Amino acid sequence: MPLNFWLSLKIPSTSFLSTDQYLGKVWLHKWISRFIVLASTLHSIGFLGKWIKEGTLQNAFAFKNFLGLVTFVGFFFSVFISLKPIRRKFYSWFYSIHLAIGYLSLILLEIHSRPGITLFTLINVGVVIYSVVLKFLYTYETEINVLSQDESLLQLIKISAPFDDTINQGCHIRIGLFQKLNPLHYLTTSHPYTLIQTQTNEMVLIVKKTNFEFIKEQKYTIFGPFNSSIPPDFDHNVKNLLLVSGGSGLSFNLPNYLKYFRNKSINLKLIWIVRNIKDLWILKEFGIDYNETIHSKKIEIFITQSQTGLLEDDETEVGLMNDIEMPTIEPDLTKSRVNFQRPNLYRIVSDFFNNNPNSTSTSDYLIGCGPERLNNELQFLGEQNQVKVISELYEM
Ligand SMILES: Cc1cc2nc3c(=O)[nH]c(=O)nc-3n(C[C@H](O)[C@H](O)[C@H](O)COP(=O)(O)OP(=O)(O)OC[C@H]3O[C@@H](n4cnc5c(N)ncnc54)[C@H](O)[C@@H]3O)c2cc1C
């Protein structure tokens, strides 16, 4: 249990004891939790079998034993609601319930266990206190400014964040609604968004409209920043860099694009697969005119929905309350590399890396950020072409 609590810690990259990113450890946290449930199932079955055999089943309802049974049911329920279809549909419920069960189990197990486990309980409580202290110390209030455009599914959120140049590209922050003196700040989930530092040092988020709304007058808090999965030696090694983004996954790749597009020693290409033509305004807000030669050679856009830009799915229902409405910019599609089709990623990846004479396995990177299927396809193509693949999934 102490290891499992430790693995669930979110340690900001600017803090003392900062480790690599917590997202990379979520799978281990999940598997250790499953192992704990398996072990407690065997433990419960063992005792129930023993009591049935001895004809003393009433032992199961003795106070201390019963608390063990309650903990077991709680653990089992936690693992059940963490199954992908349930977790993804009810993420915030899953998060708060599994956290509450975890905290409650510390008290229940301390009473239930014989011989005592006070040392482990103290370690666990220490880790929980540490997580609260971290969240208290590294949470900041922020002002937000919302930029959006009619019919676009994406919006830009400008925030004020007290971070300096130490943030790495692709790092994220977690945004919440509760102030840090409110207990709910510690018991509910915050929402992760990738931070983009613009050339004018503004902090901006590219946000897909979902249930979690950004409303201008509302107060928000920022917790973080957190390291991304881009390794520390990346800037030093990279020579050929193919960035592939789907929709709001552009936010993960844009920091690298902005950093390297003028760098002549790096062979760079950004592929952006986007459903709606009306989302292209986002690039202009970052000073990227994809018709300009410097960008048009390095950016290729694939629009996968209708050319009229009319939305055809239920995502149109997301409102635009209190947003600053940006004027509609009609892209000049005659000059730029905007395609109205799905990309042939197999061809794009192999052309990019194989047509480059300076290509080596240590200097070639393929960075992907988009839906799970896109990330998996890029992983496969990267392995096929023997390049390093880094990908980030915007879902838990
Ligand atoms: C590391 C990381 C970086 C991200 N960066 C961006 C970004 O730059 N731009 C962007 O538009 N989106 C980003 N996301 C996704 C964004 O956090 C979710 O879309 C948002 O939290 C959805 O909130 P919701 O309440 O509207 O969820 P819902 O619309 O109810 O759920 C949609 C899906 O979002 C996921 N989700 C919901 N809440 C959370 C949460 N607290 N933490 C993680 N996943 C959650 C679940 O998988 C769920 O299936 C990022 C996610 C991660 C993990």
Q: Which residues contact 154 (CB under 8 A, 6 or more apart)?
A: 148, 206, 207, 208, 209, 247, 248, 279, 282
Question: Which of 134-143, 203-212, 274-283, 329-338 has the least mean pLDDT?
Answer: 329-338
What would the mean pLDDT of 300-322 be, rounded to a whole number?
A: 54
How many Å apart are CA 291 and CA 300, to the nearest integer? 11
Tell me: the pLDDT tens digits for 51-85?
999 999 999 999 999 999 999 999 999 999 999 99
Q: Domain 234-317+327-392 class?
A: alpha beta
Is the pLDDT at 306 greater than 80, yes or no? no
Q: Probe ligand 1: pick from 91, 209, 253, 274, max atoms within 8 Å of CB?
A: 91
Is the pLDDT at 330 greater than 60, yes or no? no
Q: Architecture of 139-226 per CATH?
A: Beta Barrel (2.40)
Best-predicted range by mean pLDDT (10-14, 104-108, 301-305, 314-318)? 104-108
- Paired strand residues for 242: 269, 366
CATH 2.40.30.10 domain extents, the chain: 139-226
How many Å apart are CA 178 and CA 114, to the nearest integer? 40
CATH 3.40.50.80 domain extents, the chain: 234-317+327-392
- CB-ligand 1 contact for 91 (6 Å cutoff): yes
What's the CA-to-centroid distance between 338 and ligand 1, angstroms? 28
Q: The sheet that has 154-159: what strands, in order across it?
A: 196-197, 203-208, 154-159, 144-148, 324-325
- CB-ligand 1 contact for 211 (6 Å cutoff): yes
What's the CA-to-centroid distance between 265 and ligand 1, angstroms? 35
What would the mean pLDDT of 364-389 be, rounded to a whole number?
A: 96
How many Å apart are CA 102 and CA 6, to the nearest integer? 12
Q: Probe ligand 1: pick from 8, 29, 394, 396, max atoms within 8 Å of CB?
A: 394
Nearest CA to ligand 1 atom 21: 191
Residue 4's SS3 state is helix
Q: Probe ligand 1: pick from 13, 94, 193, max atoms within 8 Å of CB?
A: 193
How many Å apart are CA 283 and CA 301, to the nearest integer? 11
Exposure string of 299-325, with b = 16+ CB inside 10 Å and e = fewer, is: bbbbbebeeebebeeeeeeeebeebee
pTM above 0.85, yes or no: yes
- CB-ligand 1 contact for 189 (6 Å cutoff): yes
What's the CA-to-centroid distance between 212 and ligand 1, angstroms? 9
- CB-ligand 1 contact for 371 (6 Å cutoff): no
Beta strands in 98-178 (DSSP E): 139-142, 144-148, 154-159, 172-176
Name the DSSP letter for residue 167. Answer: P
Per-residue pLDDT at 332: 56
How many Å apart are CA 288 and CA 303, to the nearest integer? 18
What would the mean pLDDT of 236-247 be, rounded to a whole number?
A: 95
- Beta strand 203-208 with 196-197: parallel, antiparallel or unpaired? antiparallel
Nearest CA to ligand 1 atom 52: 394
